Each structure stands twice: as C-alpha cells, then as structure tokens.
Amino acid sequence: MRVAVYPGSFDPITLGHVDVLRRSLDVFDRVVVAVLVNPKKAPMLDVAARVDTIVSGVAEALPDFSERVDVRPFAGLTVEACRELGASHIIRGLRAVSDFEAELQMAHMNHRLAPEIDTVFFMTALEFGYLSSSLVREIVRFGGDPAGMVPPSVAARLVAVAAAEGAPSRMR
C-alpha cells in the first residue's frame, strides 16, 4: 500500500487543499492529513477543531474517497510522522511559483533527514490558486463569507468561531 502524508496547519482547510488531496488520491492508496500542532502559533481553530473540520470537509467534498483519508494531529518533524505512519511520500501543494522556493528548500531538508521519503508536489487547480488559509481567516474575521473557499461545514464552523470572537456580522 502506498501511503503519503499531507502535512500542514490547515487553519482552515481550503478547497485548494481539498483539490491537492483529491489528486493525490489518484497516486496514493491512502493519504494521512497530518495537522501540525505548533505551540508558537495562535490558530483560529484549535487542533481538535481543525481535525474535525477536515474530516467533515473531506466527507462533503470527496465522499467517494474519504475512506482512504486519515486525519490526525502531529507535532515535530514531518519525516518522523512519515516513519511512524509507514509513509514513503510527503505531499505538498503549490499555488504559485512564489511557493516553490520555500517548498523546495523544505523538500531538500526532509530528504537530508530521511532519504527514504520523497516529496511530491501538486499544483493547485487554477481556480484555487488565490486561496490561502490566512486570507480565509482574515475574510471571516472581518465578516466576509467564506463560501466557495472552504467546504460548507468548514464555512459554518469558521463563521461561528468568528462570531464568538466578536467579528462583525456579514454584510449583505
């Protein structure tokens, strides 16, 4: 079985992430979405909420593939998570050329740490190239509608969290 790890903070998972995940499932038998626990960051969604929204978002967006997707938190080095999970590949998504330099550097470092684990890059589909988790968070915190940027259940969760944080209501 070919297993890959798709690491990231996924705060929140976007339709661009879902697009990369969908295409990676054409290549790999199982993909583990590894949700990074980073104590240096202050995420909008805590790790349990991120795992929950990814599970629900994948079930909505990729119902025929969700059985082949595992979602779990991790802390530490991605290559160590790969070793623990029996994964031979790391999946990374690229939105634009500007992402490539940092991703290439990370791929080389991961190869240095674990030569048996390869990184595979997937370009996000053109219609999702503008999306980033940080932009989605900002839109929601200013009362914008994240529909069409994230799966519907994720959008509902973000709006609820933003409202609890005191974000302005959506303009109509």
pLDDT in tens, 25-43: 999 999 999 999 987 778 9
pLDDT band, residue 50 (cuts 50/70/90) = very high
Cα separation, 110 vs 87, in Å, equals 13
Whether 96 is covered by a domain: the verdict is yes
- Tell me the whole-structure pTM to 2 decimals: 0.94
Considering the candidates 41, 112, 169, 172, report the single residue annotated as catalytic. 41
Return the pLDDT at 144.
94
Whether 155 is covered by a domain: the verdict is yes
Return the pLDDT at 86.
97
The CATH number assigned to the domain holding 11 equals 3.40.50.620
Say whether 40 is catalytic: no
Considering the candidates 22, 50, 92, 95, report the single residue annotated as catalytic. 95
Of 33 and 96, the structure prediction assigns the larger pLDDT to 33
Most confident of 16-25, 91-100, 156-165: 16-25
CB 143 within 8 A of CB 118: no
Whether 104 is covered by a domain: the verdict is yes
Considering the candidates 22, 133, 137, 157, report the single residue annotated as catalytic. 133
Return the pLDDT at 90.
98
Return the pLDDT at 104.
95
Whether 170 is covered by a domain: the verdict is no
Whether 171 is covered by a domain: the verdict is no
Say whether 22 is catalytic: no
Range of the domain at 20: 3-164
pLDDT over 60 at 115, yes or no? yes
CB 133 within 8 A of CB 12: yes
Say whether 30 is catalytic: no
Whether 28 is covered by a domain: the verdict is yes
Return the pLDDT at 25.
98
pLDDT over 80 at 169, yes or no? no
pLDDT over 70 at 151, yes or no? yes
Cα separation, 85 vs 114, in Å, equals 14
Cα separation, 137 vs 158, in Å, equals 8
Whether 83 is covered by a domain: the verdict is yes
Say whether 17 is catalytic: yes
161, HSE (Cβ side, Cα atoms, 13 Å): 22
* Tally of structural domains, the chain: 1
Helix residue ranges per DSSP H, the chain: 15-24, 47-61, 78-85, 97-113, 133-141, 152-164
Whether 172 is covered by a domain: the verdict is no
